[in-house]
Amino acid sequence: LYQCTTCKDCERRCPSKVKVVDVVERARRDLVDADIVLPAHRKVVENIKKYGNPYGDERPVAEVFGEKPHKARLGYFVGCTSAYRNQSTAKATISILRKLGEDYTLLDESCCGSVMGRVGWSEGDVVAQMERNVRSIADQGVEEVIFSCAGCYRMFKEEYPKHLDVPFKVRHVSEFLADRNIKLSTLDKKVTYHDPCHLGRHSQVYKAPRDVLSKVPGASFKEMPRNSSEARCCGGGGGVRSAFPDLSEQIAAKRVMEADFADVLVTTCPFCVNNLRVGKDRSQSKVEIKDLVELIDALM
């Protein structure tokens, strides 16, 4: 039951429109209620409750980047993985906001609650994370929040409104950049794009990342055989990476092999970046794995 990445590809194909992900997560919640919890998942949740992030880091997110949360029109929700593991993604996003001259702030954020929900943790604990974040962001007077993490974005867009009022606009950074007139240097490389499951099938954001890539002069863009709603999962979601790393790597390797024709494989989620890089090593592929914001920041 815990080997499902909750990628939602089965739902896409199901002729009866069964909400398979909801069924899986409900079954997982029954297991958690019975105190049948995988050790890796228990540790992650304990860290979130104690430190506000799954990695057990005691530093607030803004402090990691030497900034202090303040009142501003635009807020950047960094997310745990970009804050404590894939800092190049967060630094690139911050750099882009500065180059665009945006009135932005980092947020007094805690874990969005996605990982807790995916592994079946109690709804009460997940909603508590939601309430803490919405209250904190509202207190900073933020009108719009952008996300570089597909999982965090999906939570705020799809899950938070089921439980509480979200008094600000939420957009993925690819949607934010698609609306901007940005001038970029030439990139003479073959580029392809991997759709994160949480951004694509879960949140229906397919066009924006491709619109941003179309702004890159000189880049030769080509889709992988499986793309958009049919994109293969990277294998990093649903708690699979933490509990079944070998299975997760196998899935990632198969996905990376589909991009062997390209010089650069771009995606828009730190979990996907991490897992695809593991898959690259496993498959011995030569393709370069990059987050969209890292690519755009380097070309600005």
Q: What is the mean pLDDT of residues 92-110?
A: 98
Q: What is the mean pLDDT of residues 239-246?
A: 95
- Helix 39-51 crosses helix 123-139 at what angle (to 10 degrees)? 30
Distance CA 34, CA 120 (A): 11
| Residue 204, pLDDT score | 98
| Residue 166, pLDDT score | 98
Q: What is the mean pLDDT of residues 43-53?
A: 97
> Which DSSP letter does residue 30 get?
H
Q: Are 51 and 57 in contact (CB under 8 A)?
A: yes
Q: Whose structure tokens read 């619109």?
A: 211
Mean pLDDT, all residues of the chain? 97
Any residues with CB less than 8 A from the CB of 105 and at least 6 apart, and which? 67, 69, 70, 71, 72, 74, 75, 76, 140, 142
Alpha-carbon torsion (13, 291, 249, 111), positive or negative = negative
% of the chain surpassing 90 pLDDT: 100
Q: What is the mean pLDDT of residues 147-164?
A: 98
Q: What is the mean pLDDT of residues 44-66?
A: 97
Q: How many CB atoms lie within 10 A of CB 40?
A: 15
Q: Where are the alpha helices (DSSP H) in the chain?
A: 9-13, 20-33, 39-51, 61-64, 80-84, 87-99, 114-118, 123-139, 150-154, 173-178, 207-213, 240-243, 245-257, 270-283, 292-299
* CA 255 from centroid of its chain's CA atoms: 17
Place 288 in a pLDDT band, splitting at 50, 70 and 90: very high
| Residue 253, pLDDT score | 98
| Residue 294, pLDDT score | 98
Q: What is the mean pLDDT of residues 265-285?
A: 97
Angstrom CA distances, 81 to 52, 53, 137, 175, 211, stand at: 12, 9, 19, 20, 25
Q: Are 153 and 204 in contact (CB under 8 A)?
A: no
Place 76 in a pLDDT band, splitting at 50, 70 and 90: very high
3-class DSSP state for residue 22?
A: helix
Type of residue at 173: V
Q: Whose structure tokens read 């050790």?
A: 39
Place 225 in a pLDDT band, splitting at 50, 70 and 90: very high
Q: What is the mean pLDDT of residues 133-159?
A: 98
Q: What is the mean pLDDT of residues 97-102?
A: 98
Q: What is the pTM of this model?
A: 0.96
Distance CA 195, CA 80 (A): 20
Q: What is the mean pLDDT of residues 90-94?
A: 98
Q: Where are the alpha helices (DSSP H) in 7-55?
A: 9-13, 20-33, 39-51
Q: What is the mean pLDDT of residues 228-251?
A: 96
Place 134 in a pLDDT band, splitting at 50, 70 and 90: very high
Place 256 in a pLDDT band, splitting at 50, 70 and 90: very high
> Which DSSP letter does residue 156 get?
I
Q: What is the mean pLDDT of residues 129-151?
A: 98
| Residue 62, pLDDT score | 97
| Residue 86, pLDDT score | 94
Place 192 in a pLDDT band, splitting at 50, 70 and 90: very high
